[in-house]
Amino acid sequence: MPITSELEKSRQALLELKAAFFAARLEVPAFGCAKRVSDLILSRTILLLWVGITISFIIGRDVAAQEARERPMIPNSKAMALKEQGSFDHLTTHDTVRDIVNHPAFNGFSRLILPGDNIYHDDTLLSNVRSLMPYHSDVDPDMVVVALNRMIDEVRDGEKIFFDLYTEQQKRVDPSKRLTGLFFFQGVPGAPFAIVCPGGGFSYVGSLHEGFPLALEISRKKYNAFVIRYRLESEQRATEDLTAAIAYIFRNAKALGVSTEGYSLWGGSAGARMVGNIALRGVAEYGGSDLPKPAVVVIAYTGQSSYSKDFPPTFIMVSANDGIANAAVVDKRVEHLRNAGVEVDYRRYRTAGHGFGLGTGTDAEGWSGHAVRFWEKHLIKKLD
């Protein structure tokens, strides 16, 4: 059996153990010293599990890349035909990750569509795309393909869908900046914009599930939406990439056809931590220009607990059965935000789990519409 398959099984087992320990943590009775000892044991165990999950994912990613380099590269017949014909055929769930990489619509940036830096010659079927994003749940391959096909249609129609965050000079100085960018889902020209920050534990970027489908939904509401591809392994650098994205859009708003009034930031899990950093400290704190904070932030399933009276109005959500982001921590954050005078729309679901994206088929389904209406309410206030 390929080593990557064994590593995937190990990662899934570790995730299940971690979820179990989080559940146990919520059931520990509050009995003074005994509780503190239990908390300490559980906290250290959870930390070790988290380290194990992250290390196994990084090792698995690197091993997969090594396996890809070592096996003969047999050209994919469909992809070669597309390139020869200049065709922009739609993808289906029967296609593979390799078909994304080789699709002519994504020429020059195709690997940035994918979750990891090294997963870009993979025979994984798109029907099994969930296997590329171990921290996410309820991944719907059909929705992934719909969003990708919208991107293909935009390119076919002559629209530009990908923008570099950094100049060539900046990328020469720091080559890691080559692994960043912005994907654009156009709404109505002149409408405000949102930036979607997918999660992935800073080990991968789950744009296929948590970025592109959400941006597509926002654009269907007539707003402009961007999905950021940020650098991995560092929350600090990822947040710096987000400030670079905000600054880029502000500088190029006219050419992009977007309004900078009342913009919003949306994030899930690790991406929500990036959004929370900007909400707390502002854009300039992370190396960006002295630009305004967003009019609204949308924060999904993160255990980040920061807050202040200067937080923008916040739409926040979590599921009670989330095995990674403790719902009790989110409850407390919401309480602190409200006590600080911040307007909060809090959605606490029961069974959606962690990393549910649009939540289709779960009790969180429809949350994105509520979030857009919350944003619109504050857009009206800002215009007034």
d(CA 317, CA 327): 9
- Predicted local distance difference test score (pLDDT) of residue 86: 54
Residue 314 φ/ψ, nearest 5 degrees: -125, 125
The residue-averaged pLDDT of 296-323 equals 97
Q: Is the dihedral of CA 113, 143, 273, 54 positive or negative?
A: negative
pLDDT band at 98 (very low <50, low <70, confident <90, very high): very high
pLDDT in the model for residue 383:
61
Q: Is the pTM of this model over 0.85?
A: no
Report the pLDDT value the prediction gives residue 70, as an integer from 0 to 100.
37
Q: In the prediction, which pLDDT does 230 show?
A: 98
Would you say 225 and 194 are in contact if contact means Cβ atoms under 8 Å apart? yes
How does pLDDT run across 262-284, given as a tens digit for each residue?
999 999 999 999 999 999 999 99
Angle between helix 212-220 and helix 367-383 axes, rounded to 10 deg: 50
Tell me what pLDDT residue 37 has: 39
Q: pLDDT band for position 380 (50/70/90)?
A: confident
pLDDT in tens, 169-206: 999 999 999 999 999 999 999 999 999 999 999 999 99
Is residue 220 within 8 A of residue 249, CB to CB? The reply is no
- What is the tally of helices (H) and strands (E) in the chain? 12, 8
Instruction: Write the pLDDT tens digit of every residue in 75-90.
Output: 344 444 444 445 789 9
